[in-house]
Amino acid sequence: MTRNSEIDLFSICRRLLKLVKAQWLRLFLAMLCMMAVAALTAATAYIVKPVLDEIFFKKDIRMLRLLPFAIIILYILRGSCYFGQAYLMNYVGHGIIKRLRDKLYSHIHMLSLSFFHKHDTGTLMARITNDVSKVKGMVSDAVTGVLKDFFTIIGLLFVIFYRDWKLALIAVTVLPVAVIPIVSFGRRVRKLSTRCQEAVADMSSLLHETFTGTRIVKAFGMEPYENKRFFEKTARLFKYEIKTVMVKAMSSPVMELLGGIGITLIIWYGGYKVITGTSTPGTFFSFMAALIMLYEPIKRISKLNNVIQEGLAAVVRIYDILDTDSDVVESKNAIELKPRNYSVVFRNISFKYQDQMVLKDIDLEVRNSEIVALVGMSGGGKTTLVNLIPRFYDVTEGAVLIDGYDIRDVTIKSLRNQIGIVTQDPILFNDTIRNNIAYGRLNSSDADIMAAAKAAHAYDFIQGFPDKFETVVGERGVRLSGGEKQRICIARVLLKNAPILILDEATSSLDSESELLVQEALENLMKSRTTFVIAHRLSTIRSADRIIVIVNGRVVEEGKHEDLLALSGEYHKLYNMQFKNNDHKPALS
């Protein structure tokens, strides 16, 4: 890892520690408990000398009565403090993770649509679930263990230096050497952990893709192909996991070897001092007990360091998202739009997505309560144009105006409150019909929700369900037909009662009967609203006041149906393509 990345990692860790501020009291109490555990652990080693010297060598009956009770009290206190630090640190750790997960989720929702085009759903899910879980392991378990073991090491070092400072110097010469493999293995684990987390994200993406598209997988008999793709993802993950296991497994034997060398030197020198009478057996065994206890937390720190490195790799990936700024930024002095009817003007706008110019030099004015249809071949830029109105993207050049206000000068919330959207793919949530209709206005009355359902021609089929408006629609509305889902979406927009309406292929995927019902619901919806209708099927735009023809990101024609047919231009071509085999072409006026 480069120096710059180390600095970035240090900066990220400082930001992570800021999340601890809200839990400072619990953290302080946990630290006190840890220091108490460390002191009582050191006392356990310290008490070995009086046990051996006073009871076994001097055969002092009074000490035999006192020391066992002292040991019991010592272990009760140690156990109580251990429980306190474990509970408090886990509380702090889980609290940090909750705030980090909440922050990550809310930040992702604040980003523009272009961000979601660059990151697939499975990857984002993996960041919030898998990566944050790695951080949880680091904060709740590893950091707790390291702090506790650090205090324990300090306490035990005090004991061994107090018992025999010369022996202690021999023992601690091994400690600096032990740091080298800890750092080396830790860096390797962090790199491998990053690759593991990337592999998990890839696997999550494939799972999300195949589970949501399971009908197509089965229809085309592609189960073996999808199995093969999934097995390749799991094989990649397995490869990195095994490499991680190897690195972790190597750290323990190395620490054992270094510990064995240190203890061997101590036994040789300490035994010589006891034999020559310059030290007592109690002193030596008390020293040895403290030393053996000392090597244990050092070994644990080596293992916990691996967990910390995995967590740090996850933290870097999480802050990579949190440091991503939205392409759509609200002005500091943004004004608030009030609910009323609005006109929409596209003033010489152009829009570039990545390196591709999608819209070019569009000048278009849509009057208050006018219904405008946008037509053209797929990929021409129709949906991109209407996506500029709610600022899903910002224009590259020019401006979008609502009643003279540049939309970049108004608050995003108030802007989007003025806009209702019905898309080709009806988006419903795994909740009740009532909550799906009231989405965005959850405090709506039952009377308002029913009125919206009736206007959307959804009330009758809702009443046919046993639970009526409390019926849970399932994931993406799987328990409803396509027409039913679309009418629920229309009811949702009706309840919102926004003055600007965007209908993006709202009837293109429906059968004739459903289309008729949905079309009637849409006509109710469009009344007295400034409406943009995107349609491939020209038969669905008969109620439009004006038709705008967009080709390759430019407005090439506009006018009424009959006027556009008379031009024998692009609209005429589209009309003939759709109805060339139909001797009775519909009149769309």
What's the CATH code of the domain at 461? 3.40.50.300
For residue 338, the 8-state DSSP code is P
User: What is the SS3 assignment for 39-107?
Assistant: HHHHHHHHCHHHHHHHHHHCCCHHHHHHHHHHHHHHHHHHHHHHHHHHHHHHHHHHHHHHHHHHHHHHH
Indicate whether 588 belongs to any domain. Answer: no
Task: Give the pLDDT of residue 10.
Answer: 67
Question: 401 and 434: one domain?
Answer: no
Q: How far is CA 485 from CA 4, 220, 462, 488, in A?
A: 52, 25, 11, 5
Which is more confident, 457 or 15? 457
Residue 332 three-state SS: coil
Residue 518 lies in a domain: no
Same domain, 291 and 152: yes
Residue type, 300: R
Contacts 24+ apart (CB under 8 A), 257-260: 258/174, 258/177, 258/178, 258/181, 259/174, 259/295, 259/298, 259/299
Identity of the amino acid at 5 = S
Residue 280 has pLDDT above 70, yes or no: no
Residue 374 lies in a domain: yes
* 345 three-class SS: strand
Q: Which residues pair with 362 in a beta bridge?
A: 349
Residue 566 sits in the same domain as residue 492: no
Query: Is 107 inside a domain boundary?
Result: yes
Closest by Cα among 381, 408, 363, 372 to 541: 372
Give residue 143's pLDDT band: very low, low, confident or very high (50, 70, 90).
Answer: low
Element housing 255 (H / E): helix 223-275
Higher pLDDT, 107 or 539: 107
513 part of a folded domain: no
Whether 443 and 374 map to the same domain: the answer is no
Alpha-carbon distances of 508 from 392, 399, 426, rounded to whole Å? 23, 30, 11
What's residue 412's pLDDT?
87
User: Same structural domain for residues 315 and 402?
Assistant: no
Most confident residue range from 24-38, 174-188, 435-449: 435-449
pLDDT level of residue 7 (50, 70, 90 thresholds): very low
Q: Which CA distances in Å does 203 have to 137, 236, 417?
A: 21, 10, 37
Same domain, 448 and 354: no
69 with 161, same domain: the answer is yes
Range scoring the smallest mean pLDDT among 57-71, 131-145, 346-360, 505-519 = 505-519
Q: What distance in Å separates the CA atoms of residue 251 and residue 244, rounded to the nearest whole number?
A: 11
Do 38 and 155 contact (CB within 8 A), yes or no?
A: yes
How many CB atoms lie under 10 A from the CB of residue 98?
13
Provide the total of helices (H) and of strands (E) in the chain, helices listed first. 22, 10
Structural domain containing residue 471: 428-497
CATH code for the domain in which residue 20 is found? 1.20.1560.10
| Token pair for 22 | 């809200």
Both 289 and 351 in a single domain?
Answer: no
Q: Is the pTM of this model over 0.75?
A: no
C-alpha to C-alpha distance for 180 and 326, rounded to whole angstroms? 42
Instruction: Determine how β-strand 371-375 pairs with β-strand 546-551.
Output: parallel
Phi-psi region at 222: left, alpha or beta (left = phi > 0; alpha = psi -120 to 50): alpha
pLDDT of residue 347: 92
Longest alpha-carbon distance in the chain: 119
**Residue 364 · residue 548 · CB < 8 Å:** yes
Burial grade of 560 (CB within 10 A; 0-12, 13-18, 19 or more): middle
Angle between helices 144-163 and 61-110 (to 10 degrees): 150
Same domain, residue pair 132 and 219: yes
- Asked if 302 and 242 sit in the same domain, the reply is yes
Considering only residues 572 and 581, tell me which one the structure prediction assigns the higher pLDDT: 572
Residue 507 phi, psi dihedral angles, 5° rounding: -125, 5
Q: Is residue 587 part of a domain?
A: no
Consecutive H or E run containing 546? strand 546-551
Going through 404-536 in order, the beta strands assigned E by DSSP cover 405-406, 419-423, 500-504, 530-534
The DSSP secondary-structure symbol of 326 reads: P
Name, in order, each residue with C-beta under 8 angstroms of 458's C-beta and a sequence gap of 6 or more. 484, 487, 488, 490, 491, 521
Residue 175: the pLDDT is: 59
503 phi/psi in degrees, rounded to 5: -115, 105
Q: In what order do the strands lie in the sheet with 356-366?
A: 356-366, 344-353, 397-402, 405-406
Exposed / middle / buried, residue 434 (Cβ in 10 Å: 0-12, 13-18, 19+): buried
526-580 per-position pLDDT tens digit: 778 888 988 766 666 766 889 888 888 888 888 888 888 888 888 888 878 776 5
- How many distinct structural domains can be found in the chain? 3
122-146 burial, b for 16+ CB within 10 Å, e for fewer?
A: bbbebbbebbbebbbbbbbbbbbbb
Structure tokens at 196: 């593991």
Residue 562, number of CB atoms within 10 A of its CB: 10
Residue 332 in domain: no
The tokens of 372 are what?
């405008």
What pLDDT score does 122 carry?
75
Q: Is 117 exposed, middle or buried (0-12, 13-18, 19+ CB in 10 A)?
A: exposed
pLDDT digits (tens, 9 = 90+) for 460-507: 889 988 989 899 888 777 888 878 888 888 888 888 888 888 888 766
pLDDT band at residue 5, thresholds of 50, 70 and 90? Answer: very low
DSSP 3-state of 534 = strand
Could you tell me which of 17, 297, 10, 14 has the C-alpha nearest to residue 182? 297
Gap between the Cα atoms of 492 and 435, Å rounded: 9
Task: Give the mean pLDDT of the chain.
Answer: 78
Co-location of 312 and 389 in the same domain: no
Q: Which range, of 131-140, 285-294, 542-551, averages the lowest pLDDT?
A: 285-294
In a domain, 565, yes or no: yes
Q: How is residue 449 written in tokens?
A: 């929700």
Count of residues making up the chain: 589
Residue 461 sits in the same domain as residue 437: yes
